[in-house]
Chain A
Amino acid sequence: MSLITPLYDSLWNEYLVWSLLVALFTFGWLYHHSFFYRSEDGENPNIDNLEVGVFPVENDDLKLELAWTIVPFILIVYLTYISWAPLDNIWASPDGGHFGDECDYDSIDYYGSNLSFDPDAELKGEYTANCYHTIEITAKQWVWSFDCGTLEAELCESGFTEADGRAVPHLSLQAGNAYLAYMTSEDVTHAPWFVSLGVKEDVLPGQTTTVWILAEDVEDFLLLCTEYCGDDHAYMMAGVTIHA
């Protein structure tokens, strides 16, 4: 199991590299100075002549201060820039966006959703699909319910299964398809976390939110609730199967 989903894999790795560089730089500096500039035993020189009741001499260097204002600024502009691209996938338009329009199953042009990932496209790769399927997710304390609508059983099937010794809802999807889930809640706020897909979105009462479920690989995983919703919050889970 990869630590994080393919969509963000390269983003995660890039952030990790920069984190390591920043940490090495900062900690290298910190460790060097804390050993190199320590006072010898018994020695207690007052380098800047600190004196009670006297505001100490200024110790600054405009160039250095500007340097560590501007360089981190450039770095974060870059990090923001590379974080930009996946947003197109996360918040794709349901009308002719990255995943096309909702599939028209009667059309002679319908050959399936055909979700594909192009690692070289955009900045950090992107998902595209011919069309997408819609499902509905309804949450209430403390159970998920999945509604496949009129989708064929091959594409989407909901039922019950057993996980951790308890009966939990089950959602079965087909790999290679893009799904758009319309979600609402009957009572309080919940949030389904498709752990292996790395997406979650709050489910609010009186409101409809959406989340793209990009079923790429064949896998089985637990869906957890990640917005606190009361007593059985931790048990509010579901099994998700993505089959071939």
Chain B
Amino acid sequence: MGRNMTISRSMVALLLISIAMVVSPAVNSLPTGVNYDQISAGGCNCHAAAPNAGVAVTLDGLPEEYNMSETYQVTISFTGGPSAEGNANLGGFNLWASGGEITPLDATVQSNGPSEVTHTEAGNDYTSWTIEWIAPSHGRDVDFVVHVNSVNGDGNAGPEDQWNKLTLKVAGSLGPGLEEADPYKVLATLIIISGILLTITVLYGFYRTNPDAFDWEHLAPWLTEWLTSTDHKKIGTLYFVQGLFFLGIGGILAMMIRIQLAVPGNDFISQDQYNSFFTLHGTTMIFLAAMPLINGFANWMVPLQIGAPDLAMPRLNALSFWLQPFAALLIFTGVFTGEGADTGWTGYAPYIVTEGAHTGVTMWVAGQIMLVASSTLTGINFLTTMAVMRAEGMGWMQMPLFTWSILVANLMLFLSIPAFGVGLIQVYLDRTISTAFYDISAGGDPLLWSHLFWYFGHPEVYVVIVPAFGVISEVLATSARRSIFGYRSMVYAMAGIGIVAFIVYGHHMFTSGMSPSLRFVTMLTTMLVAVPTGIKIFNWLKTMHGGSLVYRTHTLWALGFLVTFTLGGISGMFFPSIAMDTHLHETYFVVAHFHYVLVGGTVFGFFSAIYYWYPKMTGRMLDERLGTLHFLTAFVTYNGIFWPMHRLGVVGMARRHHTYFITTDDFTNLPEWAADWNLFISVSAFLFFFSNFIMVANMLISLVRGEKAPADPWGGWSFEWMTSSPPPTPSFDWNNPPVLKDANEHIAHEPGRLGQWFNRLMVPEDHEEVSH
């Protein structure tokens, strides 16, 4: 190596060292003591760059294994280094412990918090210090780190001083504790594990259908078929699997939220992570779980029920589905980068366009724009199908009620979701190319978003509940062995809900600062929702009258739906009353209410649908004993979660808060029992979460070992029970297409009430007499 090179290398090394000395955090140790955060990385490097073995550090008084909560007196001392008797000062130290509480005993030591002590100005004149350590009560191992500095006493920190470091582990009776987990990593891991489990399950399903076919020649066509199929049954199954998968993901998010809220002041999840957890929980459950589950059954059953070969636009249908998984990927992008969307599913402006909102919000918005596209296409497709592809003999008023419910839901969705799309695009542009739709300083209006969102958002919650009404109508009538009571009023009630849905959304904005007269009007219209909903509930009850209720799992879920949905409807009556809403808005009372209608309504309704139509979809009967066990455990634990929330909300627990406050001496907030109930809710939540795996297990076991299902296992009347289970493709024999007969033939050809009355007007009173 040449001499020049040696010199230049040395110069570079020196330069680097000097830069490092300037850049690395300077420690103002000195008389005032040092902070562990500053020295934990580089040591006492303002004294000397590296520790010096000449300084011998001892830590006396610590046991090998500590007794929980016992107090120990600990002495920190050192020998060696430049410090010598008679110097102006001798040295300093910092002691840090990973557990327990360290307190100074005299004026030579000061506390830097419960886990850390350092010397004081007076303590600079000593080479040994004594402190007190109260061992922690958790029994896990505790690490001690002590930095000690021996100074030459010139009053300046310089390289002549020497320092050293000692680490020590004191064993607890329980051994090392768990590493603290980052909730995002837990979530991301659980999502990936769920995905892998899903893949394994699907591949196992494939293996069961053909154990010899795992070579590429068989696997590739199978994959291609599922990826490119336009068959409504296959797409329905895809929707269904997606819905169940995200129901699980949403459930995992909910469980992590419940761990956080199990005790007050918990720090399992930090507040910004908590915020994105409840945001993703809401978005996932509504858009990626409830809607695909509904679409899964709609895809499967609507063409079968109206006797159509497929949807009107099968390719559009495939596009609608395939937008979903990619939208889901975008919505969850933030989780995998550590900045999940944190705006709440409502995404209120202007927060959603501020710098403070997480970066994941942009992709979350993009994903939802794709879902808007998907839903719009689905709406067009189903409405067209129902309008033009009904079998012969099936008028509008002979469509099965599930098909009617999908019609009403899609009409609502189709008319409302464009408003949401517009709002999302505005937000997306605001966030990406700095337009100013929601920039307040440029004249943007935060209420515009609220209006656009809720104009869609309120019909949206009916979009997810109305199909459940359809399911319950089918299940209850079939189980009671009766035709549904008041078919016409059922249809009118659903249509009524569909219309009222568009004029009530202002009730989400009772405290928004919107004009009081507008708020007052929505109070009146919102009260009206109770009327059509009441008609439906009473009609279902009357359907059972004089019937012969056959108890199957789907019957149990339908009856459970009636209980929980009625409770959710009753608690809903408290909100339109503005005087009460100003107290209840954004509290757990609201959380309880909408979970009673969305879980107790939509989810229970679709659990019922799973037990009702699974034999049709797979050709296998589900196990009734496992089904009953699922109903009993899930129904009880479900009520254990959401019933106490009503009271918590009323006494002052606010929603979307990552913690809650128990009354202290100074200020009243939640009573002490609120903490107990929260723990109770968390435990119930876990039981509810796991009880649903009984259903998943039931579906998998029955798929393999279940009894073969007959074409019409429950005795329903609509066309889907006409074909074999599972239905072939094409579903019906098109040389002999299904024709709906009508048991009311004699009624159907008579004029209706209006017609009779009209006829009476048109025909003279004495007409009959004359003809005699």
Contacts and interface: CB of A to CB of B under 8 A. Distances in A.
Given A50-B478, A76-B527, A163-B664, A15 B544 contact: no
Contact of A23 (B482, B566, B657, B740): B566
Contact of A5 (B527, B583, B667): B583
B656 A87 contact: no
Nearest to A76: B527
Contacts of B528: 76
Contact of B654 (A18, A38, A162, A226): A226
Interface stretch (B101-109, B147-155, B179-187, B342-350): B342-350
Nearest to B541: A29
Contacts of B571: 19
Interface string A228-242: 111111110101100
B699 to A, nearest CB: 25
Given A4-B580, A19-B573, A47 B547 contact: yes
A57 B483 contact: yes
B743 interface: yes
Interface in B662-678: 664, 666-669, 671
Given A52-B721, A226-B586, A12 B545 contact: no
Interface string A103-114: 000000000000
B645 interface: no
Given A60-B487, A230-B275, A4 B668 contact: no
A179 interface: no
A155 interface: no
B722 A44 contact: no
B500 interface: no
Contacts of A86: 578-579
Interface size class of A (residues with CB under 8 A): 35 or more
A227 B348 contact: yes
A94 B247 CA distance: 50
A18 B577 CA distance: 14
A164 interface: yes
Contacts, number: 322
A87 B582 CA distance: 11
A224 B661 CA distance: 10
Contact of A163 (B446, B652, B667): B667
Nearest to A3: B650
A237 B669 CA distance: 11
A76 B717 CA distance: 37
B577 A15 contact: yes
B202 interface: no
B351 A220 contact: no
Contacts of A228: 275, 343-344, 346, 348, 351, 656
Given A55-B398, A227-B348, A4 B743 contact: no
Contact of A53 (B546, B567, B740): B740
A230 to B, nearest CB: 5
A163 to B, nearest CB: 5
A46 B548 CA distance: 8
Interface in B243-260: none
A231 B271 contact: yes
A15 B574 CA distance: 7
B566 A27 contact: yes
Nearest to B659: A234
Given A50-B717, A90-B578, A163-B667, A204 B486 contact: no
B657 A87 contact: no
Dominant secondary structure at the A interface: mixed
Contacts of B482: 47-48, 50, 59
A163 B577 contact: no
B743 A57 contact: yes
A64 interface: yes
Nearest to B343: A228
B712 A52 contact: yes
A153 interface: no
B275 A231 contact: yes
A60 B717 contact: no
A244 interface: no
A207 interface: yes
A167 B587 CA distance: 24
B667 A60 contact: no
B119 interface: no
B667 A221 contact: yes
Interface in A113-131: none
B551 interface: yes
A205 B351 CA distance: 10
Interface string B478-514: 1011111111110000000000000000000001110
B271 A232 contact: yes
A150 interface: no
A210 to B, nearest CB: 9
A45 B481 CA distance: 7
Given A4-B650, A58-B487, A200 B566 contact: no
Interface string A164-201: 10000000000000000000000111010101101111
Contact of B562 (A15, A30, A161): A30
Contacts of B480: 37, 47
A59 B548 CA distance: 15
B483 A56 contact: yes
A205 B445 CA distance: 9
Given A224-B654, A228-B656, A234-B657, A195 B348 contact: no
B485 A90 contact: no
Interface string A1-29: 10111011001100100110011001101
A189 B718 CA distance: 51
B263 to A, nearest CB: 14
6 contacts: A44-B715, A55-B740, A60-B489, A204-B446, A204-B447, A233-B656
The 7 closest A-B pairs by CB, nearest first: A56-B483, A86-B579, A234-B657, A198-B583, A83-B577, A226-B586, A209-B513
Interface of A: 1, 3-5, 7-8, 11-12, 15, 18-19, 22-23, 26-27, 29-30, 33-34, 37-39, 43-61, 64-65, 68-69, 72-73, 76-77, 79-80, 83, 86-87, 89-91, 141, 161-164, 187-189, 191, 193, 195-196, 198-202, 204-207, 209, 219-222, 224-235, 237, 239-240
Given A65-B486, A86-B578, 19 more contacts: A15-B573, A23-B566, A29-B541, A44-B548, A52-B716, A53-B738, A54-B717, A59-B543, A76-B530, A83-B578, A163-B667, A220-B667, A224-B657, A224-B669, A228-B275, A229-B351, A231-B275, A232-B271, A233-B658
